Amino acid sequence: MKTLRTAITEYTIRDDGIVIGRDINPETERTTQLVSDSFDRVRELTQGRRAPGLWDARSIPNFPLSVWTVFVDRIDKVVVALAILVGESGERAMGAFSEVLSSLLIPVRLFDDEAAAIEWLQQFLDQEDDPQR
């Protein structure tokens, strides 16, 4: 396992290749630059390959529209599938964007149980990465 941190998220790549992102520093305003930097860190962790990803969104603050735009625009370039771990606050912070996430070109699913999310993501471990992404 290897872990990298940004100002807003801690990312760990498990030995099986699944990347887990956990939001940290909820008092720090989420900006497009910070979210962009976070995606760069994920690419660093995965050595440029897309991997199955779990985002623990249970403690995220509300994201401004501009941040969601960057997230939606870049997420399929870093993961082959996305499991989002949500609680009540995570669902509220995602707002209408949970509907937008379902329209992405990658499989996306919301979970309230981390073990179930990891189990779902394991089916995507052997998926071939498209080097054009």
**Whole-number Å distance between alpha carbons of 88 and 112:** 9
Q: What are phi and psi of 54, to 5 degrees?
A: -115, 125
* Nearest by Cα to 19 from 66, 63, 51: 51
**Whole-number Å distance between alpha carbons of 65 and 78:** 20
- Residue 106 and residue 77 in contact, taking contact as beta carbons nearer than 8 Å: no
> What is the model's pTM?
0.83
Tokens standing for 52?
């199955």
**Whole-number Å distance between alpha carbons of 33 and 37:** 6
> Domains of the chain (ranges plus CATH)?
4-121 (3.30.750.24)
Tokens standing for 59?
């403690």
* Nearest by Cα to 54 from 90, 24, 103, 12: 12
Kindly give the confidence (pLDDT) of every residue in the chain, 133 residues in length, as a single tens digit, with 9 standing for 90 and above. 999 999 989 999 999 999 999 988 888 888 889 989 999 999 999 999 999 999 998 877 666 778 878 888 888 899 999 999 987 655 555 555 556 666 678 898 889 899 999 999 999 998 755 544 4
